[in-house]
Structure 1
Amino acid sequence: MSKPFARAVRHAPVLALLAASSVFLAACSDEKAEVKPDVVRPVRVMTVAHEQTTRTLDYSGSVRARTETSLGFRVAGKVTERHVDVGDHVKKGQILARLDTTDFTLSVRAAEASLSAAERQVETANLARTRANELFASNVSSKSQLEQAQLSYDQAVSTRDSARSTLEQARNQVAYGSLAADRDGVVTAVSAEVGQVVAVGTPILTVAADGEKEVLVAIPETDIFAFTPGKTVDVTLWSSAGLSLPGKVREIAGSADLQSRTFAVRVSLPENDRVRLGMTASIAATQETGPALASLPLSALAKDGDRTLVWLVDAAKETVHARPVSIADFNGVSVRIADGLKPGDIVVTAGTQFMREDLKVKLPDDALPREASLAGAAPATR
């Protein structure tokens, strides 16, 4: 037997043992690879909040009468009497103030004298007309003389009627020297004092009529379209805690105030004994804001070709899944989602480049209470 062959026979058991060991180790390696545990990746998330499509507008105003009238004299003169003050209740026809009517009284006397003279002239013209008729019937005078007598009589009658009207006007001037209430109400302002000379129509007193009351509020132009005639709002009074009344928008100013740039809005109130003129009131109205948009950090976005994705977490299975979304706009640090998300969705906000379908993730302990903001969802208090 040759030496090489002898050495091969002598080392054959060792070679067989080494080969068996290699096969065993390879099998063990395959078994370990098969039982390798799944990767569980911790993630940061935020939950999309429930949408709010309305906001509340709160404004303050004052209680006023629906009808408020500024009263003034229909003639000019000097104020000699004022019988009421702010807060006094007045009745219809009650005299509130008076003017000096001395000159008007003299005008009445002059008009009475003119009327008396005009009536005497009518009597004289009537006698002349009668005489002319008799002469014409006797063929003593011509027809032209009769016509002249008739014309004189007609002129005298016209003069008398004019004097009568002048007298009535003079008497009216005297009556206009007394300022009377035209309805029941409360005096809310006094604009003239005794001794003051006022022109025709100058406001002397302001009277708020009894009856329906309303709240006058100033609304900025940014919120004016939230108010329409007939809209129901909640009204509360600062002086009556717990009292809430249903108000109704009655009137909206057609143009804004030139200085404040606000619109005057009047809200009618139901009858209530606790509502007094001048009280401070607040109104609360709701405004539809439309669908709210979820706002997410830019790190929550991922790309798949031309599609924009976010990764949502299935809290029950603790896995992630991709969902396409539509972007409304960016503001530099965050993005608003127009479509693709709904309230309650849990969105991965960091590490999206490591995500894949059905990847196991570990949620932080404070994941669920943290919510994504919704643009336009927060109530606005003014």
Structure 2
Amino acid sequence: MRTFPSLRTISATGALLLVTPAMAQVVPGGPPAVGVVKAESRPMTESTEINGRIQARERVDLIARVTAFMNERLFTEGAEVKKGQLLYRLERAPFEADVEVKEAAVAQARAQLENADLTLKRAQELLDKNSGTQVAVDSALASQRVAAAQVKAAEAQLHQSRINLGYTEIKSPIDGIIGRTSVTVGNVVGPTSGALATVVSADPMYVTFPVSVRRVIELRERYADKGGFDAVKIRLRLPTGELYGQIGKLDFVDIGVAQDTDTMTLRGTIPNPVIQKVGDSNLYELSDAEFVTVSLEAVEPLKVLAVPRAALLSDQQGDYLYVVNDKNVAEQRRVKLGQSTPDIAAVTEGLKPGEQVVVEGIQRVRPNLVVAPGPASQTTPRAR
């Protein structure tokens, strides 16, 4: 890199002072010294921050499907449960008795069917021997069909009674974490009692967030040749401000647009491993319905034309910066900015690679002013 010669001056006490190019005072009638950097393409991880919420992938409210007294609660609130695990047991005796009644009804219907079968057989035999009539056969056939239908009806009622008996045992339909119970043992519960408890899956979790339609289209077009939304990764910032250590993947874009906000709901899946075990319970970093900040980032950094943010100025017309041409004249350039970081800004329009951009001494520059450019220092303060 070319070094810019230091400027020396003598203080009132005779001491020799050393001044950097960007700090040098302008000699009356001379061009102001400025520090410049070359506009270059550099990798930048594009990110967009949006408010979102964590959502369990599976969520089940446990509701009693028959009316009965609750006899037992067989789980610890807040503990993990497995699919098929027995959680509540309701009073079974009335339902067992009902099953026995229906079993008896089925046995009775089957006996009547057997009798009807025999009657039909005898009537047919008599008709074959010319000792009976067709009317008797038809009557016996009708009775046999009625008896067969009564058997099916009795069997259906028995099946329903057995289903109701099975409902007295409430089991978990999924693997997950169960919340607190809303009804204690000894109370009557039923379909109108509401949720007895809720089970939610823990790992992985969903994160849902609204994104403007314009931004969704931009993302789709930008990553179309890079795998579409597979080229986007999801990072989370927790309510404490801490960055979550796991990386998620975008897996769903809603088919409709919210008319009041002109946004679409996007959803990602992110791991949620156990961070601590306490007794029978496991603690996870993410919880269902938790509020988080979602950051959408490109899987691979994008190449952008970037300049230090210290080079940027703005007014009512927008953003601009100063470029020093080959005649050392400062030109004002209106620019359009893309994704930026606290220190670097991406310029999408108004600047070409290799052009010299003023970053130091910018307060002394005016459009079409001749300046004395030199390399900027490595650490450039941000513009205010």
Same fold (TM over 0.5): yes
2:103 to 112, 122, 129: 112
User: Is the contact between residue 46 and residue 370 of structure 1 (CA under 8 Å) also seen in structure 2?
Assistant: no
Q: Does 1:286 align with 2:297?
A: yes
Secondary structure (helix, strand or coil) at the match of 2:247 reads: strand
Who is 1:312 aligned against? 324
Distance in 2 (alpha carbons) for counterparts of 1:44 and 1:313:
14
Question: 1:1-382, aligned counterparts within 5 Å?
Answer: 40-43=29-32, 47=36, 55-57=46-48, 66-188=57-179, 190-194=181-185, 195-199=187-191, 202-209=194-201, 212-214=203-205, 216=207, 218=209, 221=212, 225=216, 229-230=229-230, 231-234=232-235, 244-252=245-253, 263=265, 265-269=267-271, 276-279=283-286, 284-286=295-297, 295-296=312-313, 312=324, 320-321=328-329, 325=333, 338-340=349-351, 344-346=356-358, 352=366, 355=369, 361=371
Other-structure match for 1:14: none
Q: Which string of whole-angstrom CA distances, capped at 9 and with x for unpartnered residues, describes residues 215-241 of structure 1?
A: 5354564997369743223468899x9
Q: How far does the alpha carbon of each residue in 1:128-182 deviate from its partner, in whole angstroms, 9 at most, with x for none?
A: 2233234323322212212211221221122112211211111111111211123
Helix, strand or coil for the counterpart of 1:153?
helix
Q: What SS class does the counterpart of residue 244 from structure 1 fall into?
A: coil
- 8 Å CA contact retained: 1:311, 1:352: no
Residues 99-153 of structure 1: CA deviation (Å, up to 9, x unaligned): 3345534432332232232123223323322332343233222122122112212
Q: Please give the per-residue CA displacement for 1:23-57, whole angstroms capped at 9, x wherever unaligned.
A: xxxxxxxxxxxxxxx98424375757867865544
2:131 corresponds to which letter in structure 1? V
Q: 1:152 to 1:100 in 2, by over 3 A?
A: same
TM-score of the superposition, structure 1-length normalised?
0.59
Structure 2 distance, partners of 1:251, 1:201, is 35
Q: Which residue of 1 aligns with 2:23?
A: none
Contact 2:322 2:330 in 1 (8 A): yes
Q: What is the aligned-residue identity percentage? A: 20
Letter aligned with residue 271 of structure 2: L
**AA at the equivalent of 1:345:** V
TM-score, normalising length from structure 2?
0.59
Structure 2 distance, partners of 1:40, 1:176, is 96
3-state DSSP class of the match of 1:155? helix
Whether contact under 8 Å (2:39, 2:305) holds in the other structure is: no
| Equivalent residues, number | 311
- Write out per-residue CA displacement over residues 257-278 of structure 1, whole angstroms, 9 at most, x where no aligned residue: 9999894633322867669435
CA contact (8 A) 1:125 1:152 kept: yes
- Unaligned runs of at least 5 residues, structure 1: 1-37, 299-308, 330-335, 375-382
Q: In structure 1, what residue type is equivalent to 2:357?
A: D
In structure 2, relative to structure 1, the CA distance for the partners of 1:158 and 1:196 (3 Å cut) is: closer
Quote the Cα distance in structure 1 between the aligned partners of 2:244 and 2:367: 57
Instruction: Please tell me whether the aligned partners of residues 252 and 266 of structure 1 are also in contact (alpha carbons under 8 angstroms).
Output: no
Q: 1:192 to 1:50 in 2, by over 3 A?
A: farther
Matches of 2:204 and 2:335, distance apart in 1: 49
- Structure 2 spans left out of the alignment, 5+ residues: 1-26, 221-227, 277-281, 316-320, 338-346
**Cα distance change, pair 221–352 in 1 and its aligned pair in 2 (3 A):** closer
Deviates most, 213-222 or 67-76: 213-222
The one-character-per-residue Cα deviations of 1:264-318 (angstroms, maximum 9, x if unpaired) are 63332286766943547876443679767974467xxxxxxxxxx977277xxxx
Q: Distance in 2 between matches of 1:122 and 1:311?
A: 101
Which range is displaced more, 200-209 or 135-144? 200-209
TM-superposition CA deviations, 1:322-351 (whole Å, max 9, x none)? 65856769xxxxxx9942566642387657
| CA pair 256-95 structure 1, distance change in 2 beyond 3 A | farther
More helix per residue: 1 or 2? 1
